[in-house]
Amino acid sequence: MRLGGGQGFYGDGHRPVDDLLAAGIDYLICEALAELTLAILQKDRQRDESLGYARDLPLYLQQAMPYLLDGRTRFITNAGGINPVAAGRAVIGAARSMGASGLKVATVVGDDVRPRAAELGLPDDALFASAYLGARPIVEALEAGADVVITGRVADASLFLAPLVHEFGWAWDDYDRLAAGVVVGHLLECSGQVTGGNYSGRWWENPDPMRIAFPIATVESDGSAVISKPPDTGGMVTFDTVREQLLYEVHNPAQYFSPDVVADFTSLTLDDLGDDQVRVSGTRAADPPSPDTYKGLVCTPAGYAGEARLVYPWPDAEAKARAALAFLRKRAEENGVPVEEWHEEYFGVNAFGGSTVPKDFEPPEVIGRLAWRTADKESAGRVAGEVGVLGLSGPPTISGMGRGRGGGPSQLLAVEAFYVDKKLVDDQVRVEVEEV
């Protein structure tokens, strides 16, 4: 089976998908969600209840449509976000507008656990509460003949595991093969990272950075796979790019938890075959191999934030920036603004990883960034209202950057992880299939 990693986040590039489809893949799989993404989608839904899904979803569908209609590929995505029902409707509407006929669209619902908030001990003001589902409902959708599968919060790697379980007939207690499928999913879930993007090695050796490559996994029935990329594209697939992605966002390589299986990444072998091909084999499940819970994510309101970014050049750049930020904080105090939290940092001095300049060294320029949190939007805006006076009455040679005085206050959302018993969630998960 050939799986294509067509998306790594909401807002990822679309052009590389054309190369994946032209290269020939059995499944185009688009992983659209991060924890931050869910919060972004929540803000969309607050403005319009019909939203809450990744709005670039119809664009991917348009690219894939010719391949879907002639049976060359199937499409799986978790772009349904926190409103998979609306996403499913959008896909069906888009398919009809393209003149498609005979296309089966499946929507997986049931990851929303807000109705059980009291039972799970979740906050009363939860805006969303989603469980990270696994591969099972996607397999059910594929078995029902779905050409397109839209889900809500399904774990990243499970999107890729599902078609392997479906096509190869893997049992749900065949943990080593499931673990191998999770590894394949983890390698492909971040689109261009495994093919040389965001690479900390010799990134400048990318042969064609203007033609980004997305990955392909050619998977055998035993779970072994060759990671590659479409021909005549940029990027690179090497031992180093693959192992770097393998360890990306991994806490314990010997126990990589997913809803379907716990994989032991230390058991596998990577073989660089050359010509942008790396073989992955020998993956085993950890002990114990299967978790009893799903990870969940709950979102609650957390007030409002504002910020100011002020640029000062040499001489005395840092001193000027510190004086300006101190002025803003003092004026907020004098004006009785109820600031609950302050954060300040100085780019060019200490914004990343502690001090970045030698002692007694004067940086050529410094960006002083001040951020604050208040309970209400009006209070957050009052702090930024004092920035303007610094133009003529503060330290000399001020400049701004970005969105002027911080772009206005923005709502803050807090997201926290929790665990939920699988049985509580599985009972409410269902798959809805509609033919266009």
For 46-67, write each residue's pLDDT tens digit: 999 999 999 999 999 999 999 9
Q: Region 234-261: what's the mean pLDDT?
A: 97
Q: In what order do the strands lie in the sheet with 148-150?
A: 269-272, 278-281, 225-228, 216-219, 2-7, 27-30, 74-77, 148-150, 104-109, 430-435
As to burial, measured by CB atoms within 10 angstroms (0-12 exposed, 13-18 middle, 19+ buried), residue 181 is: buried
**pLDDT for residue 397:** 96
Q: Region 374-401: what's the mean pLDDT?
A: 94
Q: Quick count: other Cβ atoms within 10 Å of Cβ 411?
A: 15
In a domain? residue 426 = no
The Cα 175–Cα 289 span in angstroms is: 7
Q: Are 151 and 142 in contact (CB under 8 A)?
A: no
In a domain? residue 420 = no
pLDDT in tens, 334-350: 999 999 999 999 999 98
**pLDDT for residue 155:** 98
Q: Region 216-243: what's the mean pLDDT?
A: 98
7-16, 144-153, 399-408: least confidently modelled range: 399-408
Q: Are 322 and 371 in contact (CB under 8 A)?
A: no
Cβ neighbours of residue 38 closer than 8 Å, sequence gap 6 or more: 81, 82, 128, 130, 153, 297, 299, 415
Among 272, 291, 310, the domain boundary falls at 291
- CATH number, domain of 356, equals 3.30.70
**pLDDT for residue 355:** 78
Whether 405 shows a pLDDT value over 50: the answer reads: no
Q: Region 22-51: what's the mean pLDDT?
A: 96
In a domain? residue 434 = no
Residues written for the chain? 436
> Measuring CA to CA, how many Å separate 226 from each of 35, 232, 246, 293, 419?
29, 18, 14, 31, 34
Domain match, 142 and 178 both: yes
**pLDDT for residue 407:** 62
Among 291, 310, 329, the domain boundary falls at 291
Domain match, 140 and 241 both: yes
In a domain? residue 429 = no
Domain match, 258 and 321 both: no
- Picking from 206, 231, 246, the residue whose alpha carbon sits closest to that of residue 16 is 231
Q: What is the pTM of this model?
A: 0.95
**pLDDT for residue 402:** 67
pLDDT in tens, 275-312: 999 999 999 999 999 999 999 999 999 999 999 999 99
Domain holding 239, by residue range, is 2-291
In a domain? residue 425 = no
In a domain? residue 18 = yes
**pLDDT for residue 91:** 97
Domain count, the chain: 2
Domain match, 63 and 123 both: yes
Domain match, 168 and 132 both: yes
Kindly state the DSSP code that residue 421 receives in the 8-state scheme: E
Helix, strand, coil distribution of the chain in percent, nearest 5: 35, 25, 40
Q: Region 167-180: what's the mean pLDDT?
A: 98
**pLDDT for residue 353:** 65
In a domain? residue 219 = yes
Whether 361 shows a pLDDT value over 80: the answer reads: yes
Q: Region 7-23: what's the mean pLDDT?
A: 97
Confidence of residue 314 (pLDDT cuts 50, 70, 90): very high
Q: Region 222-230: what's the mean pLDDT?
A: 98
Domain match, 50 and 190 both: yes
In a domain? residue 166 = yes
Domain match, 29 and 84 both: yes
The Cα 88–Cα 149 span in angstroms is: 9
Tokens 């032991």 label which residue?
A: 264
**pLDDT for residue 403:** 56
Domain match, 393 and 348 both: yes
Among 291, 316, 343, the domain boundary falls at 291
Whether 69 shows a pLDDT value over 50: the answer reads: yes
Nearest-10 crossing angle of helices 175-188, 156-168? 130
- E strand or H helix that includes residue 341: strand 341-347
Domain match, 214 and 334 both: no
Q: Is the peptide bond before 315 cis (omega within 30 degrees of 0)?
A: yes
**pLDDT for residue 401:** 77
- Picking from 179, 164, 196, 178, the residue whose alpha carbon sits closest to that of residue 268 is 179
pLDDT in tens, 190-205: 999 999 999 999 999 9
**Amino acid at site 356:** T
To the nearest whole number, what is the mean pLDDT of the chain? 96
Domain match, 235 and 312 both: no
Domain match, 252 and 309 both: no
Domain match, 265 and 350 both: no
**pLDDT for residue 408:** 85
Q: Region 26-54: what's the mean pLDDT?
A: 96
